[in-house]
Amino acid sequence: MTKVQLEVRGRVAVVTIDNPPVNALGAAVREGLANAVKAANADAAVAAIVIASAGKAFIAGADISEFGKPPAAPSLPDVLDAIEGSAKPVVAAIQGVGLGGGLEVALACHGRVALPGAKLGLPEIKLGIIPGAGGTQRLPRLIGAAKAFPMMLSGEPVSAGKALEYGLLDEVVSSDVVTAAIRLAEALAAEGRRPVTSAATGELTEADREAFEALAREALKKADGMPNVLALVEAVRASFALSFAEGAAVERKLFLSLVADERSKALRHVFFAEREVAKVPGIGPEVKPREIASAAVIGAGTMGGGIAMCFANAGIPVTLIETAKAALDNGVNRIGAIYDISVSRGSLTPEAKAGRMALIKPAVGLAAAAGADIVVEAAFEEMGVKQQIFGELDKVAKPGAILASNTSYLDVPTIAAATKRPQDVIGMHFFSPANVMKLLEIVRPQGAADDAIATAVALGRKLAKVPVVVGNGFGFVGNRMLERRTRAAERLLIAGALPHEVDAALVGFGFKMGPFAMADLAGNDIGWRSRKARGLKAAVADAICEAGWFGQKTGRGYYIYPQGARAGQRCPEVEALIARISAEQGVTRRSFTQEEILARLLDPMVNEGARILEEGIAARPGDIDIVWINGYNWPAWRGGPMFWADSVGLDLIVKRLEAQAAEIDDKALEPAPLLRRLAAEEKGFASLKG
C-alpha cells in the first residue's frame, strides 16, 4: 500500500499520509507527498489541496532512524519548497501531533486547521539538533521570534488553543478537520489568496528582535556549550538579517553538522532505547496487567514517603504503613513539607497539595495493607526484616495483590520464599528521591508471574517513571555497576588522586556530581553500614566514617562544608589521611590525568555491564544505558555507559582493563568474555541488538 494517497473531492485534492505508527516522513512519504502535490497541480479540475493524515498523529516528524544514513531524495526542504510554491493553495488538516518535520510541513502550507487535541511543536533540540526543513525561518516569520524561539528551545509542543492564539493555526474545529480544511482551501482558492510564510516578515519587528535577543542571552548562559542551542540562536538570528532562502541555507548547514555530531547520535540512541526498554522479552500484548486501584507502602522513611507521593501524584489512593505512630507522623510531615516546597515555588496549588495529601492514608500495622492491589515494601534493607514483613503480608494481603520489595541489593526469591505466593512477589526498586527520579528497576525473579511484571511496568508508566525490567542478581543493574565505580574511586585515592580531582573528571564528563561529592550528600555512613554488613573494607571510606565525617549532614566528609554550605571545600585533613593510607599500604603516590581517572572509573562499569548482559540481568545494552541516564544522572548526550563504550572502542577498553588488571588485585577488572569477544570481532554493544 502506498504511504501517501490522493483523492479528489469536488475541486479539492485530499492528500493523505498513511505511514503507521506515527506518519514519520521517511523517504517514501516524502516522495509520495511531492508526487501528490505535483499531480494535483497538474490536474485542471483541482483548485486547492489539503494535506491530511490517517491514524492518530498528523506527522511525528522526520523518520529519526534515517538520520546518519546516506540521504535519499527528495529532501524534506525540497518537498516543502514545492508545497509552499504550489500554484494552488495547500491547507494542512492537523489531528494529534504535528512535531518537527510534521509542523514544518504545516508551516509550508498556506493555511492550517486543527482539532482541539492537536499538539504542535519543534522537539528537535531534544535530539541534539535544530529544525532542518525551514522551521527556524518560517515559525518566527509567522508568529514572531519571541514566541517561536522558546518553542524551539524547550522542544515542548503547544496545544491547539495556544497555537491558535499565537497565529500558528487559522482555525480549531471540534470535529471533521478534513472537511474544515477543504472549506478553507476552497475559500483561499476563491479569493485567489496563497499566504506564504517564507515571504512574511510582518512579525519580525525591531521589538521582536530585542525580545528574542534577551531570550537568546539567557539561553546561551545556560547552554553549557551545547552546540544545538548555539546553532538555534544563530539560525533564528538569521531570520532577522537574511532573506528566507539565505536563512534556510544557514539552518540547513547547521542542521547537517549537528546530525553528524556524536552528541546527537547519542540522543537518538536514547530515543530508541527508551522505546525498546518498554518491550519486555517474553511478555507480549496478550499478557494483560492486573488492575491497580489502590496501593500500600510499608515504611514511612524518606524512601517509603517518596514512593507514597508517586502514587498520590498519579491519583492512586495509598495507605502509608509504619510500626509506630511517631514514625508515621514524621513521615507524613516530611511529605507535607516536600509538597509545601512545590506550593511555594508555584508548581503545585494549595488545593492540589490538599488533594494529594488526602490520597495518602496513614496507618499503623501491616493489617492496613489488606485492601491494596499492590504493596510496596520500603523497610530496612535487611533480609530478616524483609522476610518477616512478607511472611505477614502473605497472611493479610488480598489474593492476586502484587507484593513488591523496594530492595536495592537483596535476593528477591529469598524474600518471596517467605510467602506462599512467590508468583506475585517482585522487586520494584525506586531511586532516591523517589518522587523525583525517573528510574524504576522492576526485578523479575524466576517464578514471578508474567502478568505481575506487566502490571509493574504499566504501573511504572502511570507513576511517570521509566520502568526497566531487570533480572534478579546482587545490585540488579544500576547498583551493581555503581559498586565497580565506587571501588575504582577509592583505589584512585590510594594510588595518588585526590577527591576533588576524581570528582572533577566526572563533572567534566557531564555528571552533575562526582562520587565523593555524591557520597557526602547521601551520607557516608550508608555505604559504611552496608560494607560492614557484608564484611567488606574500604580503607579511606572507612577511616572517614570512623572519624565521624559522614558528609554534609555532619559538616564534613570527603570535603568540608562550612556553616551548612552545599558546595564542599578541599579538606587538608582528609588529604593527609589519604596520603597516610597510601603510605601504610606501601603505595608510591602518583598523579593522574583527568582522562586516566575517567577511564579507571568508567571502564570497570562497562565491564560489569558486559557481565550483566552475559547473565541476562539486562535484556539489551540500551536498557543499561536507560538505567544510568534515568537513575544516576549519566548525561543523556553521552548516550549511557554502553553507548559510550562503543564510541570509545571496545578494543581500547579491553586493553585499558588488562593494564589495570595486571596492576591491581581485583578479578572484576579482568575483561568479561563478551567484551573480549566483541572487541576481537571489532564490534560494539550496538551489534547485539535484535
Q: Which is nearer to ligand TC6, 118 or 375 (CB)?
A: 118
Task: List the Cα angle 461/465/470 in 5-degree steps.
Answer: 90
CB of 121 to ligand TC6, least distance (A): 8
Stretch that binds ligand TC6, among 18-26, 302-310, 406-414, 437-445 (CB under 6 A): 18-26
CB nearer to ligand TC6: give 63 or 81: 63
Q: How far is the CB of 263 from ligand TC6 (least distance, A)?
A: 15
CB atoms inside a 10 Å sphere around CB 177: 24
- Nearer Cβ to ligand TC6 (119/611): 119
Does residue number 124 form part of the binding site for ligand TC6 (CB under 6 A)? yes
> For residue 15, what are the CA distances in angstroms to 78, 148, 181, 267?
18, 28, 12, 33
Residues labelled as active-site residues? 104, 124
Minimum CB separation of residue 31 from ligand TC6 in Å reads: 15
Secondary structure class of 192 (helix, strand, coil): coil
Cβ–Cβ < 8 Å for 15, 40: yes
∠ Cα 151 636 642 (to 5°): 150
298 binds ligand TC6 (CB under 6 A): no
Rule CB under 6 A: which of 206-245 touch ligand TC6?
Answer: none
Of 156 and 262, which CB lies nearer to ligand TC6 in the complex structure? Answer: 156
Q: Using the rule CB under 6 A, which residue among 111, 132, 640, 671 binds ligand TC6?
A: 132
Note whether 275 binds ligand TC6 by CB under 6 A.
yes
- Cα separation, 426 vs 403, in Å, equals 6
Grid coordinates in use for 369?
495493607
Q: How far is the CB of 670 from ligand TC6 (least distance, A)?
A: 36
Give the residue with the Cβ less far from ligand TC6, 22 or 437: 22
Give 64 or 316: the residue with its C-beta nearer to ligand TC6: 64
* Whole-angstrom distance, CA of residue 321 vs CA of residue 319: 6
3-state DSSP helix/strand/coil % of the chain, to nearest 5: 55, 10, 35
Question: What is the rounded distance in angstroms from the CA atom of residue 292 to the CA atom of residue 543?
Answer: 47
398 binds ligand TC6 (CB under 6 A): no
Q: Cβ of residue 306: shortest distance to ligand TC6, in angstroms?
A: 26
**101 makes contact with ligand TC6 (CB under 6 A):** yes
Interface with ligand TC6 (CB under 6 A), residue from 114, 133, 185, 657? 133
Q: Which of 261, 220, 126 is nearest to 636 (CA)?
A: 126
Size of the site for ligand TC6 (CB under 6 A): 22
**Binding piece for ligand TC6, criterion CB under 6 A, among 126-134, 222-230, 571-579, 598-606:** 126-134
Give the range of 17-25, 481-489, 520-528, 558-566 binding ligand TC6 by CB under 6 A.
Answer: 17-25
Shortest Å distance, C-beta 26 to ligand TC6: 8
Cβ contact 685:645 at 8 Å: yes
Of 107 and 180, the one with the shorter C-beta distance to ligand TC6 is: 107
| Residue 449: strand, helix, or coil | coil
Name the β-bridge partners of 370: none
Least separation in angstroms between residue 131's CB and ligand TC6 is 6
CB of 368 to ligand TC6, least distance (A): 36
Whether a cis peptide bond, with omega within 30° of 0, leads into 74 is yes
Tell me how many degrees the CA angle 515-521-525 measures, rounded to the nearest 5.
Answer: 90
Asked if residue 125 binds ligand TC6 (CB under 6 A), the reply is no
Residues 80-99 that bind ligand TC6 (CB under 6 A): 97, 99
In whole angstroms, give the CA distance from residue 408 to residue 403.
15
Sheet of 466-471: strand order equals: 360-364, 318-322, 295-298, 374-377, 402-405, 425-430, 439-444, 466-471
Residue nearest to ligand TC6 (CB): 100
CB of 515 closer than 8 Å to CB of 489: yes
Q: Pick out residues in 22-81 that bind ligand TC6 (CB under 6 A).
A: 22, 24, 57, 60-65, 76
Which one, 150 or 317, has the nearer CB to ligand TC6?
Answer: 150
Cell, residue 204 = 519580525
Q: List interacting residues with ligand TC6 (CB under 6 A).
A: 21-22, 24, 57, 60-65, 76, 97, 99-101, 123-124, 127, 132-133, 272, 275
